[in-house]
Structure 1
Amino acid sequence: MNTDSTRRWLALGALALAMLTVGLDMTVLTVALPTLAVDLNANTGALQWFSTSYTLALAAVMLPAGALGDRYGRKKLLLGALVLFGAASLACTFATTAGQLIAARVVLGVAAAVMMPLSMAVLPVLFPDSTERARAMNIWITSTALGLPLGPILGGWLIDNFWWGSVFLINVPMVVLGSAAVAALVPESRNPDQRPMDLPGIALSILGMLGVTYGFIRLGDKGWGDGLGWGALLGGLAIAAVFIVWQRRASFPLIDLGLFRSPGFRWGAAFTVIITFGLFGLFFTVPQYYQAVLGVDALGSGVRLLPMIAGLLIGSRLGDRLQPKLGPALMVALALTVLAVGMGLGGLTELGTSYWFVAVWVGLTGAGMGLGLPVAMAVALDDLDVARAGVGSALVQAMRQAAGTIAVALLGTVLATVYRDELGALNVDPIRDSVNAGVAVAKSTGNASVLEQVQSAFIGGMSAMLWVCAAICAVAVPLAMRVLPRRSTAAPQRQETMPNALAAVDGPESTHVG
């Protein structure tokens, strides 16, 4: 090991810190949802938008962000995004209405949309060796994933001791530290092949995602017979189809559809999406279950997600050791099996279920994510070209965030639909708005039977949502065994060119890589 090698790993630490911040903000709001429902008078639709506006911006802006980083310099844009992330966090902190919070969350998502693909795009530059790059990818993913369950814990403690706006203040010191580390340690890099921006493609991708997401959320809020909801959903799907057609015909498309000709990239990205889908639905639901059904406070809700952190760490560590022996196909199949079992057990949760049972299936879900997500993303990353690292990694991340956005919208709709159906005669305002509103009404009137009915209806919706996730993972198991490589493979010709490509990425600045 030499100084340059040490610098590479320190740079990875800086990127991991930045990703931890993004991961925290994806879920730090989950424990605040019951508080926001009361303080900002937010119904289920607004609560979905608090979560979805962030992930929607992530998915919509990530592709152009990757292209801009390739063109103008990844380090420059990464530093700018960190500053914007800090400013948007302050705006969230002092929001006084649901609309203000949603708007600030959109800006926060835009900043995160730049941070995620560009930090990932630096990895092939920092680590040309496939073995080191696989380790670096595992660290990068784990840092983001750790932020997901840590967010509710930190957020819960802050809510219990301060006010809900304080959950966003934890981003500020993280951003300051991350910016200083990135500025000092991360080398500049860009794609020497300058391409015009695909402005029509950018507009179509944003409008398509917005239409699909809004459609699902409105259908969940107004019911499946709502015409505007169906119009938005079908319109979004139509725009997405036009986007794909445009990408095939554009001279300089936003998405390099040629990447999907590679089986590794195509299937690695697909299984990344599948694993992500259930995870976001879980984070939208479980904290509400802890608070509305188990009756714990915000901090207690976050602490009860610790089994997920344990599972994630164990799964990630175990996967790091098993992957060279088992290969990607068996590893992803194993991960999907664990996820299916965990969420299937979650679907068996009832009103009187003890917490230890919940801890088991939450922990299994974390273990499945730790086992599978790094492997699936590494399969896709190994097929990326260094010069197109920004666009390629942005595409993987955009698909992952799109899956998260649609998961919150679609699974939230499943939960809301079943919840209202099982309310029966109690399906009236404000009880029908959310389980938090229903619990508040029951407690204010002291009616134990209403409280039991509301909680039981919510568990019914949560169980239906978890069964959907479990079924998706179970169906994907044999597919993973069939389409993913049995053994890790690296492209020999690309490996030989990578060290030389480092010097060509951005001239003298890239010599800092070593």
Structure 2
Amino acid sequence: MNESRRWGTLVIACLAMLLLAIDLTVLHLAVPKLVEGLGPSATQLLWIADIYGFVLAGLLVTMGNVGDRIGRKRLLLIGTAAFGAASALTAYASSPEMLIVSRALLGVAGATIMPSTLSLIRNVFTDPTQRTTAVGIWSSVAAIGYALGPIVGGFLLDHFWWGSVFLVNLPVVAVILAVGAFVLPESRNPRPGRLDVPSVPLSVIGVLGLVYALKEAAQGGLAQAQVAASAAVGLAALVVFVRRQTKLAEPLIDVRLFRRRAFSASVTAELIAMFTMLAMSLVFAQYFQLVAGWTPLVAGLAGLPGGLAGGVGGALAGPLVRSWGRGPVVATGLILTAAGFTLFSGLGVEVNYLYLLIAMIIQGVGIGFTFAVTNDTILATAPKERAGAAGAISETAHEIGGALGIAVLGSVLNAVYRNGLALPAGLPAPAADLARDTLAGAAEAAAALPQELASALLATARQAFVEGIHVTVLTGAGILVCLAGVTLYALRGVPKVIPEHAEPSEQAAPVR
């Protein structure tokens, strides 16, 4: 394959990832206008927000395997076309029920795109050094896309109705389909074997049950009956799924991959890093808007340097791996991220943006280092013909890690907030209940109070929230420092350049 087509494939893969990264973050900004336009109930609003992630997480493993069997190019183009159609359907949804269905369809389409992008890169870039560089660029684009989502959404919502945040997907879809049909090479597993049908619902139920339990725990606490029930169902399904994979000649996931130290350490690092990153992104969205009082667009622009720093970190990771090795680069990335989190503990109710900017850049570069190297290591240590399944494992770790982070670190933040909230005297009971729930609830309650009482409530709520941030970021920093040490040990001896056709024993020693 000529060089121009190879790098053209990377451009298409990056565009597809950019499409998904932006789409993951624009909906939160659209919620107020969406509620005004469609009037969903509280339950419907939760499903509108969550159904996309549920379906996406549940189908990643299955779709990664489908791509290995029918062709990664074919699946990417089919999924992109479906994503465009579902985006248009979502934009013009006329009822909450229709919006929930269209968001679920977006999740199905997104599950075909995510693993396809990584598996195409894995199969096109056969030179290990070029592959590391390509995965670093892909990771950089993903980081920038997550930061661009609030900006794109904020701009559109300032000028158009809520559905415009989904219509913006259509021009990107058109480019991917028009150019990808000619540029992308086809690749598939030459000996895919029979798809084990019972494994598909087991994987879907397992991942969905776990993610649903985590999200419910984050919203209503661990004591809810549905949390225990969904977690039990999910874990039971995953146990049966894993046992079944060990007995199949052609498993949906080759669980033996986890015996490779490099593979299992990289998946774990991605899960924990996403655990901290996604939770903190949601925390700072609230900090910018509810503490600083900035508009969604300004809040998005304020967070952009962190995403750009992540892009820089991803681009630098490849050259650093060739100099330092994989373990040191990942550990350095995690330490930098922890350092950024530690600096966040100096935030106050009054915003010092220069201080915040320094912390965001340090944290962003660290995240870029981490994800670029772990993504490449996961792909390199898996067989080339199973690239779609390997990419799906990586993305599933992202989804579970993000849900786990929101549940755990979100609970830490809420607990500190409630314990530190000193309600002013004379506050009506309904307003007090709202204020104890969340900072957003305090802002809602304050809107209906006399000015003096409202100001007192907002002051104490903001102070309690900032104190919650301090404890949460230091908790995250401690987790990241521990993970850095574990990762440095686990990735010892893994080659800087993992040979394309290395045997498992050469790629990384199995865990003993």
* TM value normalised by structure 2: 0.88
| Partner of residue 222, structure 1 | 220
Percent identity for Structure 1 against Structure 2: 32
- Hey, what's the Cα distance between the residues in 1 that align with 2:88 and 2:463? 38
- Equivalent residue of 1:164, what SS? coil
The match for 1:336 among 326, 334, 337 is 334
Distance 1:49 1:424, change over 3 A: farther
Paired position in structure 2 for 1:407: 405
1:194–1:224: structure 2 CA closer, same or farther, 3 Å change rule? closer
RMSD between aligned alpha carbons? 2.7
1:193 is paired with a residue of what secondary structure? coil
Aligned AA (1:227): A
Q: How far has the Cα of 1:153 moved from its partner?
A: 1.0
How much has 1:493 moved relative to structure 2? 4.1
Does 2:333 align with 1:326?
no
CA 225–15 in structure 1, closer or farther in 2 if over 3 Å, else same: closer
Cα contact 1:220–1:417 (8 A) shared by 2: no
- 1:45–1:217 CA contact under 8 A, matched in 2: no
User: Contact between 1:217 and 1:409, CA under 8 Å: does it hold in 2?
Assistant: yes
Per the alignment, residue 172 of structure 2 pairs with 174
User: Match for residue 443 of structure 1?
Assistant: 447
- Aligned counterpart, 1:248: 246
Q: 1:294 to 1:477 in 2, by over 3 A?
A: same
- SS at structure 2 position matched to 1:66: helix
Q: What CA distance in whole angstroms lies between the structure 1 residues aligned with 2:322 and 2:334?
A: 18
Superimposed CA distance per residue, residues 462-513 of structure 1 (whole angstroms, 9 cap, x where no aligned partner)? 4443333222211111112211145413236459xxxxxxxxxxxxxxxxxx
- Count of paired positions: 493
Change (3 A) 1:354 1:217: same
The answer on whether the counterparts of 1:215 and 1:229 sit within 8 Å (CA) in structure 2 is yes
Query: C-alpha displacement at 1:435, in angstroms?
Result: 3.0
- Determine if the alignment matches structure 1 residue 454 to structure 2 residue 452: no
CA contact (8 A) 1:81 1:112 kept: yes
Counterparts of 2:39 and 2:359 in 1: how far apart (Å)?
Answer: 32
Matches within 5 A, 1:44-123: 51-95=49-93, 100-123=98-121
What is the Cα deviation at residue 438 of structure 1? Answer: 2.6
Structure 1 partner of 2:499:
491
Q: Single out whichever of 424-433 and 202-211 deviates more from structure 2.
A: 424-433
Matches within 5 A, 1:82-481: 82-95=80-93, 100-423=98-421, 428=432, 430-431=434-435, 434-445=438-449, 446=451, 447-481=454-488
Q: Which moved more, 1:328-337 or 1:460-469?
A: 460-469
Measured in 2, the distance between the counterparts of 1:228 and 1:485 equals: 42
Q: Using the alignment, how far apart are the partners of 2:43 and 2:98 within structure 1? A: 15
Please report how far the alpha carbon of residue 63 of structure 1 lies from its aligned counterpart in structure 2 after TM superposition. 0.8
Which residue identity is paired with 1:452? A
Decide which moves more: 9-18 or 156-165.
Answer: 156-165
1:75-99 deviation digits (Å, cap 9, x = unpaired): 1111110011112222332346655
Q: Secondary structure at the match of 1:488?
A: coil
Corresponding residue SS for 1:490 = coil
1:339 Cα deviation (Å)? 0.7
Residues of 1 paired with 2:105 and 2:376: CA distance?
A: 29
Cα deviation per residue 1:408-439 (whole Å; 9 max; x = unaligned)? 34433444444444446577554455433431
CA contact (8 A) 1:292 1:435 kept: yes
Q: Residues 141-192 of structure 1: CA distance to partner in whole angstroms, max 9, x if unpaired?
A: 2222211001111111111222332222211111111111211100111112
Q: Residue type matched to 2:481 in 1? A: A
Q: TM-score, normalised by structure 1?
A: 0.88
Q: Summarize the Cα distance change of 1:490–1:217 in structure 2 as closer, same or farther, 3 Å threshold.
A: closer
1:205 and 1:414 map into 2 onto residues whose CA distance is: 30
Query: Structure 1 residues 384-393 or 152-161, which shifts more?
Result: 384-393
